[in-house]
A and B are shown apart, each in its own frame.
Chain A
Amino acid sequence: MIALTLALARAWVRIYTRGLSPALRDARRAEIACDLWEQRHEQACAGRRSLLTALEIFGRVIRGVPSDLAWRMASRTRGSAVRRVRLAGAVARRHGWMVLPGALELIYVTGAAKIGTPGFVGILEQLAMGAGAAGVLCGMVLLWRGTAPLAAAWIVCLGALGPTLLIARSAPLSLLWAALAMRSAVRRSDALRAQRSQVALP
């Protein structure tokens, strides 16, 4: 009975610490393992019946479940926030050059469209500008997330180039930014390909 209760307590700790940072996870598991050992050892030395010890340990585990879950949620929130900040920092370092031309391009695209101004551009051109701005934003999000970088770069390029070439017929900033985005995407694809080929090697 006591062995079963100890196994249950350890299993519960393993469950609610799964997915946490290794330092936090290992510290909590070690602390609970120590607590269980101390309780069992003390009560065995005192000659207490193991059934009573097992029931007491079981009660401590069950009564602590809400606090364990609350602790896990708080730990995960802190951990994921830290991970997101780190990821955002890494992406900003890698693609920081995109921020200024990207912002300028968006201002240019949306400003040139003057969406909603009667008679400035036709409805089809406004739609093209809107679709272009949406394409730029989607491409930037994909580049930011690091998924399908080549496709993301193409979406950005088409989003920026298409409407501006169509309407303004002059988009030097679009060309510059498209070139930079393509360069970054190609480099990233090369790096991914190199990683995959390394993994494939025996």
Chain B
Amino acid sequence: MRRKADTLLPLEASILLAGLQLGEFHGYSLARTIQEHANARRLTAHGTLYKALGRMQTAGLLTSRWEDADSAVADGRPRRRLYTVTGAGALALAAWEADNPQGAIRAAAASPGLALGGAA
């Protein structure tokens, strides 16, 4: 899907919105939060989600780090890659909300913890 530079896809806006709500998040928690926000029946597909996360990280909208191996071992689970929304990501979401008031209203309704424009 071709798009203009410096514009967000709806999925990217959802990721930023959910990411700002979660703080530091990993892929599955993000998929679950997006599903709850959108009231969707299905979780975002692996390929769609991780491709978008990689693209957004390259664009500087997200940063990521791998959690300590010790805490993962202590919990008996694989290591998580933890993402955080950057300042540029928050600004991009605010700009997207300004350009897409309908989408922003829907997103805000789905995520009452975040007010419109509160991402900046």
Query: Chain A interface (Cβ within 8 Å of chain B)?
Result: 9, 27-28, 30-35, 37-39, 41-42, 56, 59-71
Query: B45 near A67 (CB under 8 angstroms)?
Result: yes
* Closest A-B pairs by Cβ, 10 of them: A64-B47, A64-B45, A67-B47, A63-B45, A38-B28, A68-B47, A34-B78, A64-B46, A71-B51, A67-B51
- A39 — which chain B residues lie within 8 A by C-beta? 28, 43
- Indicate if the CB atoms of B45 and A35 lie closer than 8 Å: no
A75: nearest residue on chain B (CB-CB)? Answer: B54
Tell whether B102 is near chain A: CB-to-CB under 8 Å. Answer: no
Q: Could you list 16 further interchain pairs (A-B, Cβ under 8 angstroms) beyond the known A34-B28, A39-B43?
A: A31-B27, A32-B50, A33-B78, A34-B77, A35-B27, A35-B31, A35-B46, A38-B77, A41-B77, A42-B28, A60-B46, A63-B47, A63-B48, A67-B45, A67-B47, A69-B47
Is the beta-carbon distance between B28 and A64 smaller than 8 angstroms?
no
Binding site for A on B (CB under 8 A): 26-29, 31-32, 42-51, 54, 66, 77-81
In the bound complex, do residue B51 and residue A32 qualify as a contact, i.e. CB atoms below 8 Å apart? no
B48–A37 CB distance below 8 A = no
Contact residues in B for A30 (Cβ distance below 8 Å): 66, 78-79, 81
Residues of B within 8 A of A68 (CB): 46-47, 51
User: Is B81's CB under 8 angstroms from A34's CB?
Assistant: yes
CB distance from A7 to the nearest CB of B (A): 15
Q: Which residues of A contact B79 (CB under 8 A)?
A: 30, 34
A64–B51 Cα distance when bound, in Å, is: 9
* Neighbouring A residues of B66 by C-beta, 8 Å: 30
Is chain A's binding surface mostly helix, strand, loop or mixed?
helix
A30 to B47, CA, bound (A): 14
Distance from B54 Cβ to chain A, minimum over Cβ atoms (Å): 7
**B47: chain A residues within 8 A (beta carbon):** 63-69, 71
Identity of the chain B residue whose Cβ is nearest the Cβ of A63 in the assembled complex: B45
Q: How far is the CA of A135 from the CA of B43 in the complex (A)?
A: 61
Q: How far is the CA of A31 from the CA of B26 in the complex (A)?
A: 9
Determine the distance from Cα of A52 to Cα of B66 in the docked complex, in whole angstroms. 30
**A–B complex contacts, Cβ < 8 Å, 11 sampled:** A9-B46, A30-B79, A34-B27, A39-B28, A60-B45, A61-B45, A63-B45, A65-B47, A67-B51, A68-B46, A68-B47
B67 (CB) vs chain A CBs: closest residue: A34
Alpha-carbon distance A30/B66, docked complex (angstroms): 10
Does A28 lie within 8 Å of B78, measured CB to CB?
Answer: no
Chain B residues whose C-beta falls within 8 Å of the C-beta of A32 in the assembled complex: 46, 50
User: Within the complex, what minimum Cβ distance (angstroms) separates A59 from chain B?
Assistant: 6
Residues of A within 8 A of B27 (CB): 31, 34-35, 38
Separation in Å of the B3 CB from the closest CB of chain A?
Answer: 14
Between B43, B44, B46, the greatest number of chain A beta carbons within 10 A of the residue's beta carbon is seen for: B46
Contacts of A62 in B (CB 8 A): 45
